[in-house]
Structure 1
Amino acid sequence: MWIEKRSAKSFKFVEQYKDPLTNKFHRVSVTFSRNTTHTRKEANRVLTKKIHSRLRHYGIVSIKSNITLGELTIEWLQQLKRKVKFNTFQNNKSRTKGIISFLGNDALIQKISPSLLSNYIDFLIQVKNYHNSTIRKFKGTLNSLFKYAIKRQYLAQNPLNYVDIDYQSPEYKERPEEKFLDDYELEEVLNYMYKRSPHYGHFCEFLYLTGLRYGEAAALIPANIQKDSSGKPFAIISGTIVNGKRQSSPKTANSWRNVSLTERALRICEEESNYRSKKVDFIFSSEQGNYLGNTVLNLWLRQAKKDLNIHKQLTLHTFRHTHISKLAELGVPLYLIQARVGHKNAETTNNIYLHVTRKAEHLLDQKLKYL
């Protein structure tokens, strides 16, 4: 790139490129009112983008230089926002902040080596003490970033492909049984929540009985509760709560489903609907008529964990995991459980299922000696 001074307040930044069909050189230019480090950097970015735009239809791979991690992240997040759900976007955005904090906003992506990425992931494991599942999410964000860079011809290859991750050994993994409650713990927690408020108790029990995510249950409206031709009740899962609003589609494509309801689950819905004003949209609603928020519920669950001396995870999501564990205990096949909870393939669901079924097999082995 070179600079042509047009006047005291006009500087023309010029770059040339070769036409792949004619082998002739062409120019692209951009004009700024100043010639500073910042404007030179911005001019280089603009000119690179112009050249890339002109060459794109030829299918020519022309690796662009001087693209920073910060610039790449902004581009990638802009296109990601149009393709994924709100929470997925926010989670990826949050992870990119951590990535940039370690690698540097101005780090040139062509200079990001496998060894540097390896150091970063070791930092997440050894210093941040993140679980393997979280490490995989950071790896997924990094991989998507670099794949986008290759697509945009900012990189020739993905440096993450050459990183060997030393995941935590199995003894440090979070144990599956810490994710769900046993029968006695479940009874204690539900009694605790019912004492706080019958509505809190209803909501938590409904989560356990159905295996729904918080957002799916909170977004339910009376029209979502129906009965089939034989009179069996079910809930239509077609929405969720995202960023404080009801979204007319659930978390993923697999989340669209009908979930059969037990008599108790149906009675909870009827009691909540009858208690609230007919003007209220949601089955589970606050005194103000809004959907039942998760902040106060999780606050009381944290207090229940302390008061009841429960040494396990205890959030609204725990009821979903407890539902999965109970279905596994009852011998329901894994594929049916996945369909019911709206998971195509989830590590947590698989781990809980395997843990419960192996425990059942062990108990069976112990009892065989009495035959």
Structure 2
Amino acid sequence: MWIEKRDKDNYKFVEQYKDPLTGKTKRVSLTLEKNTAHTRKQAQATLEAKIRQRLQHIKDGTLKHGITLKQLSEEWLRNYHALVKYHTYDNAKSRTNKIVTDIGKDVLVEKVKPVLLEDYLNSLIYEQNYKNSSVMKFKGTLGNMFRYAYKHDYIKSNPISEVEVNYRSEEATEKASQKFLDDVELKQVLDYMYKRSPHYGRFCEFLYLTGMRYGEAASLYRSDIHKQADGKTVATVNSTLVNGQKQASPKTSSSRRDVTLNARAQLIVKQELIDHPFKSNFIFESKQGHPLGNVVLNFWLRKAKAELNIKKTLSLHTFRHTHISKLAELGVPLYLIQNRVGHKDAETTKDIYLHVTKKAEQKLDSKLNLL
């Protein structure tokens, strides 16, 4: 580093470095008012940071030592935050915090071997009783973190690429038939929720009738319900809820859509607007004028599951899956169902569709002998 005198009480501190991409020498500089031992030390540190910043995306094969799992997680999360929606980031942050806590914040990234990660993921299944689907997400988060580490020369290779998780074969993902309600179960659950509160019952029934996600339905404004030129009444899905706050865009780009409301869904909307004061723009609002919360609704659904002795999964999302199953039962093509529920390509939708259509085929086969 050298110093150039500029004006009175004005000094330019300069450092140079070699650009690996061009082989040419480049400079970074910093202007300070004083030239003292303290400012020289300060300038040196600042200039070195500037050089590191400029070279951070240049992979020259030189391994950077001493990066801990905690440091990697924080750096990766800052980068990841700018690339995805908040809900996706928030879930990744939660998994990352658990990974760092479980494995160890001071573990050096360059020392992590595939066997360590494999043992950890297996322990999530067999010791901490996580589902296969959850552990797959942990593996994905680890893969993203270590892919970032590889690109930034913290490791020589991504250890997750050699990891083979011993997933529970008996689970093999939850059976499609357990994800939606049949007609009898649906009536029982809706009756239960209507008895708890007509407000709760209408919201759950609206989810079933539209196939919307909780956040999509709860964030609907009165202005989102309108009649189109062809006479159809639709709900325009253009938002969701994140931590109770309306977010301008829904979960994915394919989630932006107009959902046709049948007569019953339209009646539910009208009844909500009649029964609740105009404290907010939300259709389904709490007494305080906030969007209807999912915590209390899922609490009562858990109570319904126990009291009605329903063996299937039961949450607000179950109504969405039940909507998909009913459309499949009615013979609606898969691509139209995907468009309606905002699933561009979702395995769950396909699994439910195939399960229902397969069941319909079996019913047909059993009746062929009656011809």
TM-score (norm 1): 0.85
- Which residue identity lines up with residue 264 of structure 2 in the other structure? R
- Which residue identity lines up with residue 253 of structure 1 in the other structure? S
Contact 1:48/1:64, CA 8 A, preserved across alignment:
no
The residue number in structure 2 matching 1:104 is 104
Runs of 4+ in 1 over 4 A off after TM superposition: 16-24, 45-51, 56-59
Q: CA deviation at 1:60?
A: 2.8
The residue number in structure 2 matching 1:8 is none
* SS of residue paired to 1:369: helix
* SS of residue paired to 1:230: coil
The residue number in structure 1 matching 2:133 is 133
Q: Give me the whole-angstrom Cα distance separating, in 1, the residues matched to 2:277 and 2:226.
A: 20
What root-mean-square deviation, in Å, do the aligned CA atoms of Structure 1 and Structure 2 show?
2.8
- Which residue identity lines up with residue 127 of structure 1 in the other structure? E
Q: CA deviation at 1:274?
A: 2.4
Describe how 1:160-199 pairs up with structure 2 within 5 A. Answer: 160-170=160-170, 173-199=173-199
- Which residue identity lines up with residue 350 of structure 1 in the other structure? K
The residue number in structure 2 matching 1:230 is 230
The residue number in structure 2 matching 1:203 is 203
Q: Give me the whole-angstrom Cα distance separating, in 1, the residues matched to 2:370 and 2:112.
A: 63
Contact 2:133/2:173, CA 8 A, preserved across alignment:
no
The residue number in structure 1 matching 2:30 is none
Q: Give me the whole-angstrom Cα distance separating, in 2, the residues matched to 1:283 and 1:18.
A: 61
Q: CA deviation at 1:47?
A: 10
The residue number in structure 2 matching 1:13 is none
* SS of residue paired to 1:337: helix
Q: Give me the whole-angstrom Cα distance separating, in 2, the residues matched to 1:300 and 1:286.
A: 16
- Which residue identity lines up with residue 190 of structure 2 in the other structure? L
The residue number in structure 2 matching 1:7 is none
Q: Give me the whole-angstrom Cα distance separating, in 2, the residues matched to 1:315 and 1:47.
A: 55
**87 and 55 in structure 1: CA distance in 2 versus 1, 3 angstrom threshold:** closer
Q: CA deviation at 1:153?
A: 2.4
Equivalent residues, number? 343
**49 and 352 in structure 1: CA distance in 2 versus 1, 3 angstrom threshold:** farther
**77 and 59 in structure 1: CA distance in 2 versus 1, 3 angstrom threshold:** closer
Identity percentage of aligned residues: 55
Q: CA deviation at 1:22?
A: 6.5
Q: Give me the whole-angstrom Cα distance separating, in 2, the residues matched to 1:47 and 1:137.
A: 40
Describe how 1:31-70 pairs up with structure 2 within 5 A. Answer: 52-56=52-56, 60-70=60-70
Matched, 1:290 2:290: yes
The residue number in structure 2 matching 1:71 is 71
Q: CA deviation at 1:326?
A: 0.8
Q: Give me the whole-angstrom Cα distance separating, in 2, the residues matched to 1:363 and 1:258.
A: 34
**57 and 364 in structure 1: CA distance in 2 versus 1, 3 angstrom threshold:** closer
The residue number in structure 1 matching 2:300 is 300
Q: Give me the whole-angstrom Cα distance separating, in 2, the residues matched to 1:219 and 1:57.
A: 40
The residue number in structure 2 matching 1:265 is 265
**111 and 196 in structure 1: CA distance in 2 versus 1, 3 angstrom threshold:** same
Q: CA deviation at 1:123?
A: 0.8
Q: Give me the whole-angstrom Cα distance separating, in 2, the residues matched to 1:138 and 1:359.
A: 34
Q: Give me the whole-angstrom Cα distance separating, in 2, the residues matched to 1:312 and 1:96.
A: 30
Contact 1:190/1:204, CA 8 A, preserved across alignment:
yes
Contact 2:113/2:159, CA 8 A, preserved across alignment:
yes
**186 and 47 in structure 1: CA distance in 2 versus 1, 3 angstrom threshold:** farther
User: Which region of structure 1 is more displaced relative to structure 2, 92-101 or 197-206?
Assistant: 92-101
**176 and 239 in structure 1: CA distance in 2 versus 1, 3 angstrom threshold:** same
**121 and 233 in structure 1: CA distance in 2 versus 1, 3 angstrom threshold:** same
Contact 1:280/1:290, CA 8 A, preserved across alignment:
yes
- Which residue identity lines up with residue 298 of structure 1 in the other structure? N
Contact 1:86/1:243, CA 8 A, preserved across alignment:
no
Q: Give me the whole-angstrom Cα distance separating, in 2, the residues matched to 1:348 and 1:46.
A: 51
* SS of residue paired to 2:370: coil
Per-residue deviation, residues 2-48 of structure 1 (Å, max 9, x unmatched): xxxxxxxxxxxxxx998757799x9xxxxx99xxxxxxxxxxx9999
Q: CA deviation at 1:167?
A: 2.2
- Which residue identity lines up with residue 140 of structure 1 in the other structure? G
Consecutive unaligned residues of structure 2, counting only runs of 5 or more, are: 1-15, 28-36, 39-44
Consecutive unaligned residues of structure 1, counting only runs of 5 or more, are: 1-15, 27-31, 34-44
Q: CA deviation at 1:244?
A: 1.5
Contact 1:62/1:153, CA 8 A, preserved across alignment:
yes
TM-score (norm 2): 0.85
The residue number in structure 1 matching 2:360 is 360
Q: CA deviation at 1:253?
A: 1.1
- Which residue identity lines up with residue 261 of structure 1 in the other structure? L
- Which residue identity lines up with residue 167 of structure 1 in the other structure? Y
Q: Give me the whole-angstrom Cα distance separating, in 2, the residues matched to 1:104 and 1:50.
A: 30
